[in-house]
Amino acid sequence: MNRRWLDPATALFIALSLTALPHAAQASGKITSSPTKSSPGTALNRIQRMVARLDQEAQTPEGEAAVVKRLSAQLGTSEDTLRQQHDAWGLGYGEVAMAYGFSKASRTGKTPDDVVEMRTQGMDWNDIAKNLGVKVDRVAARMKRHVGPAKG
């Protein structure tokens, strides 16, 4: 088994994500560990990797400015609004983008604020997707454009 240490932002994101899972699902063992290629779990894993990359990029003032500028243009929301939501919601920019992605993919008229409220009430992203009638793989495809070019 190959073990890798995670950077603090990614570790915090994972820890917060795990604490938000409904305890009943954890206890009953209904969380699948090996989703198929086209399953919502795999698409959600791709989204979460993109979220981690966005949050990693935003760790410096220059990186944050680049992320906010890119998200503002792509989401049609002002930079000030994104910064305010980032602070008010207590989320990284990756999850802010996720809230927008799920909201925009939904046909229920739910706003990003509504999506964040569902999340703070303990719903996991798969349950939110089901509630909104959203295909997680569609959100994953849209999220790709939010992530900046890979540094190499």
Q: What is the pLDDT of residue 132?
A: 93
Residue 17 lies inside a defined structural domain of this protein: yes
Cα 14 from Cα 4, distance rounded (Å): 14
pLDDT at residue 19 tops 80? no
Residue 13 lies inside a defined structural domain of this protein: yes
Cα 20 from Cα 75, distance rounded (Å): 25
- Six token digits for residue 109: 């008229």
Answer whether 0.75 is exceeded by the pTM.
no
Strands (E), the chain: none
Residue 1 lies inside a defined structural domain of this protein: no
Residue 152 lies inside a defined structural domain of this protein: no
Query: The domain containing residue 39 runs over which residues?
Result: 8-146
Q: What is the pLDDT of residue 148?
A: 52
More confident residue, 143 or 5: 143
> How many structural domains is the chain composed of?
1
Cα 58 from Cα 55, distance rounded (Å): 5
